[in-house]
A and B are shown apart, each in its own frame.
Chain A
Amino acid sequence: MSMSERKLTPDLFRPANIDTAKGEEITKPSLSFWQDAIRRLKKNKAAMLGLFAIVFIIVFSLIAPSLSKYGMDDQELMRANLPPKIPGLEKIGFLGVNGVDIRGVNQYEMKNVPAEDEFWFGTDVLGRDQWVRVWKGTQISLYIAFLAATIDLIVGVVYGGISAFYGGKVDNAMQRVVEVLYGIPNLVVIILFIIILDPGILSITLALVITGWIGMSRIVRAQILSLKNREFVLASKTLGSTNGRLISKHLLPNTLGAIIVTSTFTIPGAIFFEAFLSFIGLGIQPPTASLGALIADGFRSLRIYPHLAIYPASIMCILMISFNLLGDGLRDALDPKMRR
């Protein structure tokens, strides 16, 4: 071994140049909590796919109804139960969008539909354009989603926040109310409203307003209770911060992660609740239709006209899966400890 024979003389060594300042230098730009969370979210492919699908569905539900010249309830029995027909995609057989029904009859030719009339999702029993109805129904689901999130953010956060921040008697009284409301099932509240008012969007909205925020308020309360006693809050208080400053600068920003995650999981729950009610006939009433009502109608003639159920059901599923994926991604990004 030539290596071991070699003499190590002192002139082979140089003193290391230790710059203490350099060791302290931060090589990467420091990321704030939110930048870090966004970076983690962007790396999560499933969550980004979900986000993309949600944005796509929102945009489409807004512009799609105006792409058809027919309205939501333009009936014409002459063109009832037409299968879907999309120009350009007609040649591709397996898509089933060439205007031919399951018996192989071209319904458009048989019913003498004018050539310029093309129903992309077909028509229903009364000859209404299913394309318009499906996207209008999606709007209702999205309205419910938006409503549930807003109630969560406004009522839930404020209620839970006040209850935890003031504590003592206030907390005690407010929690008794929550205990009673928590025990009353959603279904009971909606039925009570249906009996006083009528089934429809107003009853569902009111039922959500009354019961929707309870989960959020409990989570916010628990978070603020534990934050309230932490040292940084005490320090801020000692330095003379007002309550308003404590809430806006210390308590809320630290709860925001939990708030966002909770509301993304409230949304699919609310969408399902509305679809479920419409499905059993307690929700949106005709001539308006939500996705749940369209699916219920479609299932009645699933064997003969599968297109009536398939499109609303697919959009419903995509919407629900997307919100769930986004919620999972946000939870992983905002609260790595809760990772599942």
Chain B
Amino acid sequence: MLRYIIKRVSAMLLTLLIIATITFFLMKLLPGSPFNNQEKLSESQRYALNEKYGLNDPVPVQYINYLGKLAQGDLGYTFQFDGRTVNSLIANGMGPSATIGFEALLFGTLVGLVLGIAAALKHNTFIDYGAMVMAVFGIAIPSFVFAGLLQYYVGVKLGWLPVAFWNGPEYHIMPAFSLSVGVIATVARFMRTEMLEILGTDYILMARSKGISKQAVIIKHCVRNSMIPIVTILGPMAIGLITGSLVIENIFAIPGIGEQFVKSINLNDYPVIMGTTLFYSFLIILIILVVDILYGIIDPRIRVAGGKS
């Protein structure tokens, strides 16, 4: 197990190093420097600024310094505001982004589980078909289309919920719900398949024939065993939530990382684009790693199979 974790962590660090290296040299390839367009600077002022930010050093030295700063978690300065670091921008956006992602994950998983279990227990009835039609729609309809329609009908036409911004609990409902649609659909489909498979196994029949009540069998045997493999879809789901949050935050004007990211792209604020990109990559790779290790602990068969291939 330890060897497996070490192998995975080193692969993760290598991936991050490659991303950081590509990022750095792309930044160097871009024409101009941050201080070029400020005409009023004299030659010596520009030199002093370049010296301050280490831009007079040869490129390999800059690269080493960049990696050193990165290792300490320092992502550099933004062009948008004077003297603010990319770290502070990300830290500011972290709150709303994490809140909304967590709410969507929690709500989506709960509703998805209930739908999936109901569909499996009422197999081939209209509950089953209804849940699966909903799941197909949830997977197929892009989250930004759904969010836009929700905003229009619930926010504007009915006026039940605030259309946008981030000022209190009622502002969370629509964005979190639009973000959770994909989660609901994925979890529901997955749970249904797993439940159907387990409902047909011999040990369920055995438990029933021993006289355990139907509810107890379903809760203690079926649901608990179906939940184990759900860990495998957590990784892709988390990636989906991060990508989804980019658009959802923009549609609902939530001051999160995603909104800042899109704003920076439109303003060509390269340090923020690069910093956020690295941050997202780190997050995604970390989630995949944690999920894989977690799954190895829960179900040792995966680890053996994974180690062989």
Contact = CB atoms under 8 A, between A and B. Distances in A.
Interface of A: 179-180, 183-185, 187-188, 191-192, 194-196, 222, 225, 268, 272, 275-276, 279-282, 295-296, 299, 302-303, 306, 309, 313, 316-317, 320-321, 323-325, 328, 340
B140 A317 contact: yes
B277 A275 contact: no
A196 B28 CA distance: 11
Nearest to A225: B309
B12 interface: yes
Nearest to A312: B145
B142 A320 contact: yes
B277 A187 contact: yes
B136 A317 contact: no
Given A276-B243, A321-B137, A195 B30 contact: yes
Contacts of B140: 268, 317, 320-321, 323-324
A308 to B, nearest CB: 12
Contacts of A222: 309
A313 B145 CA distance: 7
Given A184-B15, A321-B136, A340-B189, A282 B281 contact: no
B71 interface: no
Given A313-B145, A320-B140, A321-B137, A279 B277 contact: no
Contacts of B23: 192
19 contacts: A180-B14, A185-B281, A188-B281, A276-B247, A280-B246, A295-B144, A299-B251, A302-B148, A302-B152, A302-B156, A309-B148, A313-B148, A313-B149, A317-B142, A320-B142, A321-B140, A324-B136, A325-B136, A340-B192
B145 A317 contact: yes
A317 B11 CA distance: 38
A275 B141 CA distance: 11
Binding site of B, secondary structure by majority: helix, strand, loop or mixed?
helix
B121 interface: no
A276 B15 CA distance: 25
B285 interface: yes
A188 B283 CA distance: 12
B99 interface: no
A191 B265 contact: yes
Contact of A183 (B12, B26, B266, B280): B12
A319 to B, nearest CB: 9
A195 B26 contact: yes
Nearest to A279: B144
A325 B247 CA distance: 25
Interface in B1-40: 11-12, 14-15, 18-19, 22-23, 26, 29-30
B225 interface: no
B141 A321 contact: yes
Interface string B239-268: 100010011001100000000001001100
Contacts, number: 103
A108 B277 CA distance: 48
Contacts of B148: 295, 299, 302, 309, 313
B217 interface: no
B293 interface: no
B136 A187 contact: no
A184 B285 CA distance: 8
B223 interface: no
B179 interface: no
Contacts of A192: 22-23, 26
B284 interface: yes
Nearest to A46: B136
Contact of A185 (B11, B14, B26, B284): B284
B166 interface: no
B139 interface: yes
Contacts of B251: 299
A192 B23 CA distance: 7
B182 to A, nearest CB: 10
A180 B285 CA distance: 10
B45 interface: no
B246 to A, nearest CB: 6
A316 B142 contact: yes
B280 A185 contact: yes
Ordered nearest first, which 10 A-B pairs have the shortest CB separation? A183-B15, A320-B140, A321-B140, A324-B140, A340-B193, A299-B148, A313-B145, A280-B262, A185-B284, A183-B285
Interface in B28-60: 29-30
B63 interface: no
Given A180-B18, A184-B15, A187-B246, 4 more contacts: A276-B142, A279-B247, A295-B145, A324-B139
B288 interface: yes
Given A295-B148, A313-B145, A179 B136 contact: no
Contacts of B141: 317, 320-321
Interface centre among B26, B145, B270, B277 (most CB of A within 10 A): B145
Contacts of B14: 180
A321 to B, nearest CB: 4
B273 interface: yes
Nearest to B156: A303
Contacts of B246: 187, 276, 280
A191 to B, nearest CB: 6
Nearest to B133: A46
A321 B250 CA distance: 25
Interface centre among A195, A268, A299, A320 (most CB of B within 10 A): A195
Given A191-B277, A275-B142, A276-B247, A281 B11 contact: no
Contacts of A325: 136
B266 A281 contact: yes
A183 B29 contact: no
A185 B262 contact: no
A192 B27 CA distance: 10
A225 B309 CA distance: 9
